[in-house]
Amino acid sequence: MIRAGRGDAEAFRQLYVAMQETVRAFLASRDGCMTCHDIDDMTQEVFLRAWTNLGDFQARSPVQTYLLGIAQNVLMETWRKRAKTSIKLATCSSRHEDPNQEPSEEGGKAHLRRAIDRAKNEMTAEQRTAFELVYVQGLPDEEAARRCQCNLHQFRNRLWRARMKLKEVIRNFQNTV
């Protein structure tokens, strides 16, 4: 990484070859909803960010730790985007559904909105608050944890549990559509 930061493109290529599978496996292990293409795109994003910020690496931690930290940030951004998309879908206005008609696209949105509401009802108050602070209000985890008056580890645990409930609902919704 240090050699690459000095302009040695071959050193960065070697780093990529050595670490690409590790980063890819890390991303794949964190989210079972992603396709191979999503994982590949995110892996490329990690190395693009590493390349863009070569001068920031100060060798205070192993290169693997640095790259996996970038990967975690990319993953968090992906989850936030996915959640915002789901929330926008769920909050869209829908027409009155006729039970005798085939479900329309709008009816599907209403069905998803009801499913998300069920997931939110299954969340604890702390999980729901964590979810709303990060995915609705867009706060960084650190700020949201401070507002919830808990440590970052506790907060991320609450957020993870909320995401798991929502992920299950979305997976079931996708299976019924």
Q: What is the CATH number of the domain that holds 128?
A: 1.10.10.10
Count of C-beta atoms within a 10 Å radius of residue 175:
7
Q: What is the pLDDT of residue 87?
A: 55
Share of the chain above pLDDT 70, in %: 80
Flag whether pLDDT at 41 surpasses 80: yes
Count of C-beta atoms within a 10 Å radius of residue 104:
13
- Per the document, the length of the chain is 177
pTM above 0.85, yes or no: no
Residue 97 lies in a domain: no
Residue 74 lies in a domain: yes
Indicate the number of domains in the chain.
2
Q: What is the pLDDT of residue 23?
A: 92
Same structural domain, 109 and 44: no
Average of pLDDT values for 136-159?
89
Q: Whole domain around residue 40: which residue ranges?
A: 2-78
Residue 128 lies in a domain: yes
Flag whether pLDDT at 90 surpasses 60: no
Flag whether pLDDT at 10 surpasses 80: yes
Residue 92 lies in a domain: no
Same structural domain, 56 and 119: no
Same structural domain, 125 and 168: yes
Average of pLDDT values for 80-84?
72
